[in-house]
Structure 1
Amino acid sequence: MNYFNELNTLLDMSSAPYSGFNVAAIVVTEDNKVYKGVNVESAAYPTTNCAERNALQTAVTEGAKIGDVKEVHVLGRNSEKLLVKAYPCGSCRQVIAEQSANDAMVYCYASESDVENFTIAELLPHAFLGAEL
C-alpha cells in the first residue's frame, strides 16, 4: 500500500526547529496495524528522536513483538520545504532489523509515484541482531 499522502500530512507534526529537516514514518505490522512517527529534535542533539524509531517504539508500546514489523515507510522534507527521500540512519536501520527479525521492507518516498524499496537486510548487511549475546 502507498502511504505517501499520510506521510506528507504527518510531516507537519514533525518538530525540526534546528535543522528544518522534517521526517515522517509509518510502521506496518504483520496484522496490518499502522503506527506513525515523526522526528523530534532537541537543542541537545543526542536526545533527538528519529521518525522511524518513534514509530517503531510506538508499535512496541502498543504490543508489537519482535518479528511483527513488516514495513517501514519514510518521507522527508528539507529546510527549503521540498519533499526528499529520507533513508533511515544507521541507528534506525539497527532497530528496524531487530524489531522485524531482519525481515522488513523499507519504502523511501519523494512523491506518490517516486518510491524506492529495500529489504532491511539490503540496507544493513550482516546485521547484529543479538543472538550473539
Structure 2
Amino acid sequence: MEDKELIAAAKKYREFSYSPYSKFKVGAAVLTKKGNVYGGCNVENSSFPMTNCAERTAIFKAVSEGEREFEAIALIADTPEPCSPCGACRQVMVEFKIPKIIMANMKGDVQVVTLEELMPYAFTEF
C-alpha cells in the first residue's frame, strides 16, 4: 500500500472524530504486516484525560482483532505542519514497533519518519 492510500484512509476516519470541545479532528490508519488497515479518530470526553487519540484508537482496534505486527501508521489533521503524534501515542507505537510514521495535514504536506527518529530514547522491554 502506498503512503497516499494510507493517508486517504486516515482522512476518511478523521470525519468520524468526536471532538466537541477542541474542534480538533484527527484521523489515523494503521497498516498491518498482513495488509489489513484499521482506522481511528480522536474521541474526546469532558474529562480531558479520558480522551483517546486517533492513533491509539486505530492501533487498539487492530490489536483487539489479533494483529501484533505493523508496517506503518498515518495520521492527519488540519494543522499548519504535518500533524505529529503526542507522547502517549508515540509510546504505543514503540510498544508495537511500528517502523514507519506518516504525518500529514489537510493541505497535503507530508512528513515520513522512522520510529527511531520519532522516539530515540523510548521505553522498551529491554
Verify same fold: TM over 0.5: yes
**Match of 1:55, SS?**
helix
2:85 maps to what in 1? 88
Would you identify which runs of 4 or more consecutive aligned residues in structure 1 move more than 6 Å? none
2:28 maps to what in 1? 25
One of 54, 60, 64 as aligned partner of 1:61: 64
What is the CA–CA distance in structure 2 between the aligned matches of 1:105 and 1:89, rounded to whole Å? Answer: 16
Unaligned segments of structure 2, at least 5 residues? none
Tell me, yes or no, if structure 1 residue 99 matches structure 2 residue 102: no
What is the CA–CA distance in structure 2 between the aligned matches of 1:27 and 1:8, rounded to whole Å? Answer: 12
**Match of 1:93, SS?**
helix
What is the CA–CA distance in structure 1 between the aligned matches of 2:71 and 2:59, rounded to whole Å? Answer: 11
What is the CA–CA distance in structure 1 between the aligned matches of 2:109 and 2:70, rounded to whole Å? Answer: 23
> Which structure's CA Rg is the greater one?
1
Q: Contact 1:69 / 1:104 at 8 angstroms: preserved in 2? A: yes
Which residue type is aligned with residue 103 of structure 2? C
Give TM-score scaled by structure 1 length.
0.84
Unaligned segments of structure 1, at least 5 residues? none
What is the CA–CA distance in structure 2 between the aligned matches of 1:84 and 1:116, rounded to whole Å? Answer: 9
**TM-fit CA distance, 1:30:** 1.0
Q: Contact 2:30 / 2:73 at 8 angstroms: preserved in 1? A: yes
Equivalences, count: 123
